[in-house]
Amino acid sequence: MSLPHTLILHGLGGSGPEHWQNWLAGELAHHGGVVDLPRFSSPDAPRLSAWLDELRSHLAAMPASGERVVVAHSLAALLWLHHAAGSFDESLRVDRVLLVAPPAPDFDGEPLIAEFLHPEVGPTLARRAAVSTRLVAGEGDHYCTLAQAKELAEGLRVDLDVIVGGAHLNVDAGYGEWPAVLKWVRSGRVPLTPR
C-alpha cells in the first residue's frame, strides 16, 4: 500500500524536535512516504494572511495524483478553517484532513492568535476543502474545552475523537511518538487513540 503525500502543519511557535509532528514526518519518510513539514513565517508572531498564502503554496505543490493528506495541529487547525472558508481553488482540495487540538474558535486567552479566531464554520466549507475531515481533541486542553470541541465538530459535521487526559496533545502532554496518528495517515484507521 502506497503512502499518501502528507502535509503536516504546526501551530503557534512551531513544533519542536520532540513533538509528534516531527516524529510522524520521520516515520512516514522512513517508510517511503513523501512528507512536507513546512515552517510558517514568524511562527511566534503569526499573521493569518501570510500563513494562508504559505499554506496554499504548499497545497499547490502537492502532486495531483495519489492520496493527499493534511495533519494540522493547534493554530494550524484554525488556519485550515480560514482556508476552507476563503476564496477557493478546487485544485487545492485534499482527500483527508486531521484537525488536532484546535483552539476554540472564540478562544481569548492568547493575543498572538487573535487574527485566527472566529473562522467561518460549516459542513459545506469543510467538504469543499477536503473529502473527509476528522477532529481530535484532548480532555483537559486549556485552549478548547470538550464542550467547545463538540460544538466545533457539530458545526463542521465531522467525527470527533476525544483523547482522555490528552490535554493539548503536544510534548508537554507526552505526545512525542503517537502511533495512532501514523495509522490514521497510512490507512485512515479510526478512532484516534492515545499514544
Condensed to tens digits (0 to 9), the pLDDT of residues 31-75 reads 999 999 999 999 999 999 999 999 999 999 999 899 999 999 999
* pLDDT at residue number 2: 82
Closest listed residue to residue 98, CA positions, set 1, 13, 183, 3 = 183
Q: Considering the domain boundaries, does residue 82 fall inside one?
A: yes
Q: Considering the domain boundaries, does residue 136 fall inside one?
A: yes
* pLDDT at residue number 195: 84
Confidence label for 22 from pLDDT (cuts 50, 70 and 90): very high
Gap between the Cα atoms of 107 and 22, Å rounded: 26
Closest listed residue to residue 82, CA positions, set 44, 130, 118 = 118
Q: Considering the domain boundaries, does residue 192 fall inside one?
A: no
Confidence label for 1 from pLDDT (cuts 50, 70 and 90): low
Tell me: pLDDT of 4 over 90. Answer: yes
Domain that holds residue 111: 5-187
* pLDDT at residue number 179: 97
Q: Considering the domain boundaries, does residue 20 fall inside one?
A: yes
Q: Considering the domain boundaries, does residue 193 fall inside one?
A: no
**Strand runs labelled E in 33-186:** 35-36, 68-73, 94-100, 130-138, 159-163
Tell me: pLDDT of 88 over 90. Answer: no
Domain count within the chain: 1
Cell output for 120: 467561518
Q: What is the CATH number of the domain that holds 179?
A: 3.40.50.1820
